[in-house]
Amino acid sequence: MMFWDVIDTLRKMLLNGFITRLVVNEGSNKLLFRLIVASTVSGLYLAVLAFSRPYTRKGDFQLAVIASLLLLCSFTAGVILHLCKEKDDDDQDDYQGTCEQFIGFKLNSFRASIFVVVLPLGMIVTAINEIKTPTVRLVSTSDVPNLEIPRDCSYHMFLSHVWSTGKSNTHVIARKLQLLLPKLSLWLDVDSLVHIDNLEEPVAECAGFTIYYSKGYFRSQNCRRELYTSVELEKPTIVLYEIVLYEVHETRVLETLGNECIAYCKEEPGPERILEHLMKNDPIQWLHDGSFSAAAIKRTFTCLLSHLPYYQDSKILDQGLSVPGEIGPVSLPSAINVLVCDVNIGALEVAKEIQEMMSSSLEN
């Protein structure tokens, strides 16, 4: 709202100028009346701010709300100090009665002062914790991604897995994703499943479909039911997989996936259409540790967000996402030797790629 600065300026003029012109009885009653008026103005402004949400950037809106809450706390604290202050011994009982009547419990000047200090400090600590909470952010704006989902959906993502070999890892993945984006809504059987006969409905209610592939996935009838529904509804699909100790290269995992799909997916829509659907987005190797995990999370979120309504016709994602724990730009102060193991297929190609990148950067 381009005119919101005008409204905010009027609020500041009311709090800084108009209230000082209020004419009431001299003394403490004048101060109390002004504090009440200031609290009322701040409360009304906060309510209008919450309903109108005038800022484009979510961070600006959060900052405005926190600032308004702190201001409201300050005026409320002034009222508390005024009602609970100590007077002469003859008037002390009357003041303590007034304090208890309006505040709800007895406070002397010392306790009221402590309460007044703790109230805004608690708000500040809460705001700092909110700001410092590790979360995924857009590189272009430094904002948390917009997670708006289609109107006919209730969840962002459906997590499909076979219990015998993928249950524990899938649950770990779900918790990691929700830790970095707390407002991400995932459908996971352990949290949401009510009845096994009703698996198709939650798939339809999800904006995206994610498979955690492990051996035996396609042998499971329930997994195939979920997958068939996803293909029929053309849900954007992400395939996550891990390389176990006896599998040296990712191609072996994907070959196993394809062979298993062909062997067990005999019903409609058929293995060819299913595999075509699964490979529309590049499969993502999931890794659990450090910066490798951050890279997998980044690819997963990028794929998910690209299919949400807010980003489908936008270039905001072009600059990518920032994920806590990922490795940033690295510079080498001197030449290094890279040791490559022949058993680690693909390592030599990566080493040569790094060598070429280093050579080109030195030439430039």
Which two three-digit tokens encode residue 121?
């400090």
**Beta strands in the chain, from DSSP E residues, in sequence order:** 137-138, 155-160, 186-187, 206-213, 237-241, 284-285, 321-322
Composition of the chain by helix, strand, coil, percent to 5: 60, 5, 35
Per-residue confidence (pLDDT) for residue 232, from 0 to 100? 92
Q: Note whether 265 and 274 are within 8 A (CB).
A: yes
Residue 210 — φ and ψ, nearest 5°?
-125, 130
Per-residue confidence (pLDDT) for residue 163, from 0 to 100? 85
- pTM (2 d.p.): 0.61
Q: How many helices (H) and strands (E) does the chain have?
A: 14, 7
**In one letter, which amino acid is 63?**
L
Going by pLDDT thresholds of 50, 70 and 90, the confidence category of residue 90 is very low
Per-residue confidence (pLDDT) for residue 327, from 0 to 100? 80
Going by pLDDT thresholds of 50, 70 and 90, the confidence category of residue 235 is very high
How many beta carbons lie within 10 A of that of residue 192, not counting itself? 15
Percent of the chain residues topping a pLDDT of 70: 79
pLDDT tens for 274-330 read 999 999 989 998 887 778 888 899 999 999 998 998 888 778 888 888 888 888 777
pLDDT tens for 157-205 read 999 998 888 888 888 888 888 888 888 899 887 766 555 667 788 889 9
Q: What is the mean pLDDT of residues 262-285?
A: 90
